[in-house]
Amino acid sequence: MRFKPDLTWADVTPKADFLNRRQLMKGAAAMGIGSIGGATMASANAPASIYSTDEEPNTLEEISSYNNFYEFGTGKDEPAEHAYRLTTSPWTVEIDGLVDNPGMYDLNDILSQVTIEERIYRFRCVEAWSMVVPWNGFELRQLLERVGVQSSAKYVAFETLVRPDEMLWQNYDILEWPYREGLRLDEAMNPLTIMATGLYGEELPKQNGAPMRLVVPWKYGFKSIKSIVKISLTEEEPETSWNMQNAREYGFYSNVNPEVSHPRWSQASERRIGGGFFATRQPTQMFNGYEQYVASMYDGMDLSENF
């Protein structure tokens, strides 16, 4: 299925503002910074983000060969083998629900309106392995502010592409397709929450969720939904794939919490990918180490209930 965008940023952005941005972008281009190859890269001279960890990042090889992306198989090595089939250009994102400017947006238009930067984040899968990933991407709140979130909106729902002739495992009922995820609006607006479009200053590999995937570093990895084609602002808590699959094991919040065990294993420690066979496990941190930026969003909540 191919969509023709019926709205562009020029339609939703006050015109003067839009023209200013274009001028700025052009100026930036003339100085050799900013968007090359579809704006996937952060400027080489950009200052390091205060949100980045100084832990040693995993290699591109590790990050792009050990993956979870069930649309391309359930084995860790299968996404790297099969994701080449995915057509990522053109790419359209539908934004609907409680927004002032719903529509079908071309990804290039979205990327021309946001600031791409580097974020080096810890990434913790619910299966108790972890990595350190140097993402390139933009804060989701930039996109949400552009489309105008209405005051009744309380949640953001995301959907991955459905295209079984390219995503061959969508021909099997291993999950209910499309893969779905969701955040509370304040979580989505948190500056730590990014849409990643690149890795190591290069285009995002398809197995990592090209051309655009969510990254929510204080939550278990399954919240970080890949290859997004739909974003909906809703009043009700959206359905999420792993919760639908097994509500006893996977909740909506899924904040990294070393004190709350998965029903089948402990979450107290994790195996850092690339550490070698004899590497010792390391302790898992509350909110994956991002407590100072996110804990206040859950004040008064029983964190052991909201797994």
Ligand X SMILES: Nc1nc2c(c(=O)[nH]1)N[C@H]1C(S)=C(S)[C@@H](COP(=O)(O)O)O[C@H]1N2
**70 in contact with ligand X (CB under 6 A):** yes
| Closest CB to ligand X: residue number | 221
**226 in contact with ligand X (CB under 6 A):** yes
The contact pattern for ligand X, residues 133-172, with x = CB under 6 A and - = no contact, is ---------------------------x------------
**221 in contact with Mo ion (CB under 5 A):** yes
Per DSSP, the residues of the chain read --PPP---HHHHS-HHHHHHHHHHHHHHHHTT-S-STTT-S--TTPPPPTT---SPPPPHHHHTTS---GGG-SSTTHHHHHGGG---SS-EEEEEESBSS-EEEEHHHHHTTS--EEEEEEEE-TTSEEEEEEEEEEEHHHHHHHH-B-TT--EEEEEE---TTTSGGGGSTTSPSSPEEEEEHHHHHSTT-EEEEEETTEEPPGGGTTT-EEE-TTB-GGGS--SEEEEEEESSPPP-HHHHH-TTT--SS-B--TTS-BTTB--SEEEETTS-TTPPPEEPPGGGGTHHHHGGGGTT--TTT--
**68 in contact with Mo ion (CB under 5 A):** yes
Q: Minimum distance from CB of 70 to ligand X (Å)? A: 4
**229 in contact with ligand X (CB under 6 A):** no
Q: Name the segment binding Mo ion (CB under 5 A); options: 4-12, 117-125, 143-151, 174-182.
A: 117-125
Nearer to ligand X, 20 or 74 (CB): 74
Interaction residues for ligand X, span 267-286 (CB under 6 A): none
Q: Name the segment binding ligand X (CB under 6 A); options: 29-37, 85-93, 220-228, 255-263.
A: 220-228
**225 in contact with ligand X (CB under 6 A):** yes
Decide if 1 contacts 93 (C-beta within 8 A). Answer: no
**125 in contact with Mo ion (CB under 5 A):** yes
In the list ligand X, Mo ion, none, the entry touching 69 (Cβ below 5 to 8 angstroms by class) is ligand X
**240 in contact with Mo ion (CB under 5 A):** no
**222 in contact with Mo ion (CB under 5 A):** yes
Nearer to ligand X, 53 or 101 (CB): 53
* Residue ranges that bind ligand X, judged by CB under 6 A: 67-71, 125, 160, 179, 208-209, 221-222, 224-227
